[in-house]
Amino acid sequence: MSRTRSRRPLRVALALLGVAAVALAVLWWRAGGGAVAADDAPAAPPTPTSSSAPSSPSSSPSSSSASSSSPAASSAPSSAGGSGTPAGGTGTAPATGSTTAPAPGQGGPAPVGVAVTWSQWDDASRSVLAGGIVGDVVEAGGRCTLTLSRGGVVLTGESEAEPDAASTSCGEVAVSGAALTAGPWDAVLSYASDRSAGESAPFTVVVP
C-alpha cells in the first residue's frame, strides 16, 4: 500500500509534463512553424492588372494619310492632247474596207458557159474559123475570142458577140497569119463582157 501511494505523485507529475510539452508544441507551431509552412507553400500567381494590357497602337494610320494614299482624281489620264483617245472622240478605230472577194454578179463578171458549135479551116482566107454561143445570156457589148496555141506560139482572133432570142452568139471568129503553120493546134473559144465571162472546153483544129 505504501508503494502504490508513493507512485501516484510521480504519475501525476509525468502527466502534467506531457500536457505541458503538448501545449508548448502547439504554441511553437502557431508562433513559428506555421509561418515557415506558409512560407514554403507556393505563392499564388500574380493577378494581371489592367495596366499590363497592351495599349492601342498610336501608329495607326489616320484618315488623312489614308486619303492621301488614294489616287487623286487629277492623276487620271486626260483625253485632251494625250496619247489616248482624242478630245471629243469615242476611241473607236476607223473601220477598214472589206477584203471579201466579190460574189459573181456583185462587183465582178458572172461566170457563163460557152459552147463551140462549129470550127473549120478556110483555104480561101488561110484562116481557122470557129463559132459558138453563150447560153442563158442575152446581152450586147460582149466579145468572143478564139485562141490557138502550139509549141509556145499563141494566136488570137476576135469578133463582136450578138444577142439573139435566148442566148448570145459569137458569130464567126477567124485566126490567120504567117505563124499559122500546118498541123494540129489547141483551141479555146472565150467570151467576156462587163457582166459575164467564160470559156469553152479545149478542142483541136487542124491546119492542112
Report pLDDT digits (tens) over 94-137: 333 333 333 444 568 999 999 999 999 999 999 999 999 999 89
Say how many C-beta atoms besides its own lie within 10 A of residue 175's C-beta: 22
| Model pLDDT, residue 30 | 74
Chain centre distance of CA 37: 85
How large a percentage of the chain has pLDDT more than 90?
47
Amino acid identity at 7: R
Residue of higher predicted confidence among 121 and 78: 121
| Model pLDDT, residue 93 | 34
Cell numbers for 167: 442566148
Cell numbers for 107: 462587183
Mean pLDDT of all residues in 30-47: 52
Mean pLDDT of all residues in 42-57: 47
pLDDT beyond 70 at 58: no
Rg (CA), the chain: 66
Q: pLDDT category, 192, cuts 50, 70, 90?
A: very high
Q: What span, in angstroms and rounded, lies between the C-alpha atoms of 54 and 8?
A: 77
The overall average pLDDT reported for the chain is 73
Cell numbers for 26: 502547439
Residue of higher predicted confidence among 131 and 67: 131
- Which backbone phi and psi does 40 adopt, to 5 degrees? -75, -20
Sequence-distant (≥ 6) Cβ neighbours of residue 145 within 8 angstroms: 156, 157, 158, 173, 189, 190, 191, 192
Residue of higher predicted confidence among 34 and 156: 156
Q: pLDDT category, 206, cuts 50, 70, 90?
A: very high
Tell if the pTM clears 0.85, that is, is over it. no
